[in-house]
Structure 1
Amino acid sequence: MTASPLISTPFTATSTAADILAGVDLHGLRAIVTGASSGLGKETARALAASGAEVTLAVRNLAAGAAVAEEIADAGARVRPRVSELDLSDQASVARFVDGWEGPLHLLVNNAGLVTGGLERTREGWELQFATNHLGHFALTVGLHAALATGATDRNGARIVSLSSTAHMRSGIDFDDPQFDHRDYDPQLAYAQAKTANSLLAVEATRLWASEGIVANAVNPGGVATGLQRNFTADQKASLDAAEAAGVFTYKTVQQGAASTIVAATRAEFAHTGGHYIDDCQEAYTVPDDARLADHPHGVKAWALDTDAAERLWALSTKLTQN
């Protein structure tokens, strides 16, 4: 069987979120952006609001979120963003957010991310990076399924954007020990596993919900200096510096980093198709699981798109979060 051609867009690694939304009217579109009080989430929310979308900033720090909403409104957004509290490491907080949502939802951007320098656990005993970056977003996505289905009906489709990372190339899902209960803890591997999980969420959500008009895609924003790196260990910083020096990536501005998210969120090329991994505003090519990152800086590992792994992860996540 011949593989389908990769989906392409007119945009590149240097395109910005504003470039992609130039002349686009998003009036009437209701969007949620997690982690929108800084970095990529803030820029994604700003770009969407500037084009007329009704954006909810889902944030842990309400004061920081309110300041961002004020900034976006002062910059001329057509609709002032709403601010709502969401701590993805706390399943009770996720449930409160879901319970408080009213009406249709057309776009869910699972942007928030966490990096730890050592082993930390939630009250459930879950490894914190997996719990926050994946399980929190999983519970949020499943909890908002009905709102997305309604949104898909009134706008001819709803979309989920799941932020992954080149880091996914370091690790697939260790189904024998996803919480590092038995293996030695490595924060880089934990982050990598969570980023693979972010991609697999998009694969399985699309399989389950595409018939309802809901599609999900994963994006790699590329190397962007944000608050995400504040907890990096010396080894993590050294690894990042070495990758940059080797030409694996070139740092982008926040505006460029948000571009692939906006492509997945708004471009017609991805309106009715999901389960893809988008890098530099294009669908990425798939590489074998044993491929070296240095040789394929813009590819996606097969394990991050594997349908069996996606189904298995969805089942595990459902069991853990009781969704």
Structure 2
Amino acid sequence: MPHSSAPYQPYAERYVDGPASGPTAADIVKDLGLEGKLQDKVIFITGASAGLGQETARVLHTTGAKLYLTGRDLAKGQAVADALVASNPSGQKPVLIGLELDNLESVRKAAKEFLDQEKRLDILVLNAGIMAVPEGRTVDGFETQLGTNYFGHFLLFHLIKSTLLAAATPQSPSRVITLSSAGHKAGGVFFDDLDLKRQGYNPMVAYAQSKTATIHLANSIDRHYSASGIRAVSVHPGMIFETSLGRHMSQEEIAGFAPMAPFARPLAQGAATTVWAALDPHFNKQGGVYLADAGVSSAATADEHFAGPGYAPHAFDKTAEEKLWKLSFGAVGLSEDGN
């Protein structure tokens, strides 16, 4: 479990008046002095055609890095890419790759398409996700949210990790960012009931399981690969009502989020922690941590609001992390050496 008497929280004072007072993603780039400075870097972002992924891509494009953007809908992706070029003509032209995370064959094709074009990758942002969808199965038979949010990304990482290793140096490790959520606090990984059949399907419990799994993924990547030059962190972007993430929820379910309104923030602030995680040099030396409000989080206190920045203890259970890591290889058709 992460531990520090003084967690790294350089923007703490900005959040004193609430989440919406925090920095924007663009502020992060400016504060780090990285506008137009990363022309030699390659960044891969999943789910970049809408919402947080789109805003993350927009801001990271201003660094000058070469972006690979994935999405299910290539027409929407092209519109996003065109908008990036129009707003930042001096930037490199983004490359689009079709990717459906609920289909492992699509993941394999996307990985091959990337590997055919690049030998190195500096930053991998595993942003794509779904929330509270009706009970269902992916093409490969996983519960839909766990399969999309976790297993698809697990396979993608392993298929392209050679490029992360190739780009890493002792001074500048490569970096992986997984998108989690405060929603992880509602439940851990149910190893004896991954599809939630036994307990009965609840869309928010399924979401919680998948978001705990993404924290486990970042922690495991950092544990297994930090010595080889890959650091990984997980991110809670905050409560953001401007995305389509809750499109499968009923009006009654959406109304249930009303008490979390004080923790809401605009999309520009919502992407800030992801961009900070991708760019702050602090994370060359620290990984396996959960980030929120552009800071390293601690365990949630007993009186902390559910939507607050702290993490649930089950998110940092090393035994569970290793159990999920090992079973995932066979689940996605890989050997334990990742091949």
Fold shared per TM-score above 0.5? yes
| Equivalent in the alignment of 1:16 | 24
CA separation in 2, counterparts of 1:31 and 1:227? 24
Q: Superposed, which structure 2 residues align to 1:31-42 within 5 Å?
A: 31-42=43-54
- CA gap of 1:155–1:32, structure 2 versus 1, over 3 A, is farther
Deviation at 1:143, TM superposition (A): 1.1
CA separation in 1, counterparts of 2:328 and 2:25? 32
Query: What secondary structure sits across from 2:40 in the alignment?
Result: coil
The answer to whether the aligner puts 1:52 opposite 2:64 as a matched pair is: yes
Deviation at 1:154, TM superposition (A): 9.0
The amino acid across from 2:7 in the alignment is L
Q: Superposed, which structure 2 residues align to 1:1-323 within 5 Å?
A: 3-4=3-4, 5-10=6-11, 12=14, 13=19, 14-22=22-30, 23-24=33-34, 25-77=37-89, 78-101=91-114, 102-153=118-169, 156-225=172-241, 226-244=243-261, 247=262, 249=263, 251-287=264-300, 291=302, 294=305, 297-323=308-334
Query: What secondary structure sits across from 1:228 in the alignment?
Result: coil
- CA gap of 1:147–1:295, structure 2 versus 1, over 3 A, is closer
Query: What secondary structure sits across from 2:195 in the alignment?
Result: coil
CA separation in 2, counterparts of 1:74 and 1:237? 35
Query: What secondary structure sits across from 2:70 in the alignment?
Result: strand
Runs of 4+ in 1 over 6 A off after TM superposition: none
Preserved CA contact (<8 Å) 1:162 1:217: yes
C-alpha offsets along residues 79-108 of structure 1, whole Å, 9 cap, x if unaligned?
111111111101000001111223100000
TM-score, length of structure 2 as denominator length: 0.89
C-alpha offsets along residues 45-77 of structure 1, whole Å, 9 cap, x if unaligned?
111111101011111111110110000000015
- CA gap of 1:96–1:3, structure 2 versus 1, over 3 A, is closer
Preserved CA contact (<8 Å) 2:173 2:284: yes
Preserved CA contact (<8 Å) 1:200 1:305: yes
Preserved CA contact (<8 Å) 1:149 1:212: yes
Return 5+ residue gaps in structure 1 as ranges.
none
CA separation in 1, counterparts of 2:259 and 2:252? 10
- CA gap of 1:295–1:129, structure 2 versus 1, over 3 A, is closer
The amino acid across from 2:324 in the alignment is L
The amino acid across from 2:76 in the alignment is A
CA separation in 1, counterparts of 2:51 and 2:266? 10
Preserved CA contact (<8 Å) 1:59 1:87: yes
- Percent identical across equivalent pairs? 35
Preserved CA contact (<8 Å) 2:165 2:174: yes
Preserved CA contact (<8 Å) 1:29 1:53: yes
Preserved CA contact (<8 Å) 2:185 2:306: no
Return 5+ residue gaps in structure 2 as ranges.
335-339
RMSD of the TM alignment (CA)? Answer: 1.8
Preserved CA contact (<8 Å) 1:287 1:296: no
CA separation in 2, counterparts of 1:243 and 1:296? 6
TM-score, length of structure 1 as denominator length: 0.93
